[in-house]
């Protein structure tokens, strides 16, 4: 790809499909100059998931970069770090047996009226096995549908809710295993709202499927059986191997992904090992 020609201030190495890329040639311990920030935002919009290797940044630098990308999003149902209300520490101790956090296909906080545009995750301690993060290109998934299917989906409103995870009868309410991450089960999570099933990216203009097995619980104005049939097809379509990028972590790597056109899944497989990450989100807009 013509990455070298496209960016004046950074080096961008895309994945073969163009979905996912590695960005080098910058130092995130200091605020980015306007031209560098513009190139980073352009690369992120183009590739959906971008990794910044060899970035030994602290919490303050992570917070500062998040603010440069557009300001903090709101992270509900998880207790933040003391003194850092916009940072979540995703720590899993070697002796923990609970399911690893994020082990289900989702787009972060899609049940919010304005879900986060981006999620940033910085790796501090990476186990020697397991722990990959998988991403789905939801824009390419939409483009692979027939024109007839696209037309059928266009007017539909998907129903999003946190109830399956954080609700009073959700998965985390049934947790009996020790978990370092402090999760807050809430009746608020049992509420729901609707977003367009197909949303348009505000920067690229590309359309993407905006549904996920974790947070999409139905489709407005359809019977449960009709919604289940359509969503079941879309979930299987989205998670086909051809649309997935598997991210392998290294320590001191920052990863940033676009929640508006991707889903992701956090793999486990590292029982007996410590894994430690720091996470922020960037505020987004109401899907259209």
Residue 35 has pLDDT above 70, yes or no: yes
Task: Provide the residue ranges of all domains of the chain, joining segments of one domain with +.
Answer: 3-282
What integer pLDDT is reported at residue 6 of this predicted model? 75
Beta bridge partners of 219: 158
CATH code 3.60.130.10 for 3-282: yes
pLDDT in tens, 58-113: 999 999 999 999 999 999 999 999 999 999 999 999 999 999 999 999 999 999 99
For the whole prediction, is pTM greater than 0.75? yes
Q: Please give, one letter per residue, the 3-state secondary structure of the chain.
A: CCHHHHCCCCEEEECCCCCCEEEECCCCCCCCCHHHHHHHHHHHHHHCEEEECCCCCCHHHHHHHHHHHCCECCCCCECCECCECCCEEEEECCCCCCCCCCCCCECCCCCCCCCCCEEEEEEEECCCCCCCEEEEEHHHHHHCCCHHHHHHHCCCEEEEECHHHHCCCCCHHHCCCCCCCCECCCHHHHCEEEEECEEECCCCCCEEECCCCCCEEEECCCCHHHHHHHHHHHHHHHCCHHHEEEECCCCCCEEEEECCCEEEEECCCCCCCCEEEEEEEECCCCCC
pLDDT in tens, 114-170: 999 999 999 999 999 999 999 999 999 999 999 999 999 999 999 999 999 999 999
Q: Which residues are identified as catalytic?
A: 106, 108, 264, 279
233: confidence class by pLDDT, cuts 50, 70, 90: very high
């Amino acid at each position: 790809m013509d990455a070298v020609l496209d960016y004046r201030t950074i080096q961008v190495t895309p994945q073969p499909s163009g979905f996912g890329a590695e960005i080098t040639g910058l130092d995130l311990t200091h605020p980015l100059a306007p031209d560098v920030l513009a190139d980073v935002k352009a690369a992120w919009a183009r590739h959906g998931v971008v990794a910044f290797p060899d970035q030994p940044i602290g919490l303050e630098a992570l917070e500062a970069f998040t603010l440069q990308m557009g300001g903090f999003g709101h992270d509900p149902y998880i207790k933040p770090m003391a003194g850092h209300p916009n940072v979540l520490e995703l720590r899993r101790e070697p002796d923990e047996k609970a399911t690893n956090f994020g082990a289900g296909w989702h787009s972060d906080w899609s049940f919010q009226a304005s879900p986060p545009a981006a999620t940033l995750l910085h790796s501090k301690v990476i186990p020697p096995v397991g722990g990959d993060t998988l991403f789905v290109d939801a824009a390419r998934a939409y483009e692979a549908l027939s024109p007839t299917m696209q037309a059928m989906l266009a007017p539909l409103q998907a129903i999003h809710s946190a109830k399956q995870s954080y609700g009073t009868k959700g998965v985390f309410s049934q947790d009996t295993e020790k978990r370092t991450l402090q999760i807050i089960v809430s009746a608020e999570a049992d509420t729901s709202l609707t977003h367009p099933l197909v949303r348009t990216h505000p920067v690229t203009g590309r359309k993407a499927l905006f549904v996920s097995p974790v947070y999409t619980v139905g489709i407005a104005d359809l019977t449960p059986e009709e919604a289940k049939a359509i969503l079941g097809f879309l979930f299987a379509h989205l998670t086909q191997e051809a649309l997935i990028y598997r991210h392998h972590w290294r320590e001191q790597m920052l990863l940033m992904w676009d929640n508006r056109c991707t889903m992701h899944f956090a793999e486990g497989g590292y029982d007996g090992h410590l894994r430690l990450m720091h996470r922020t989100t960037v505020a987004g807009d109401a899907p259209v």
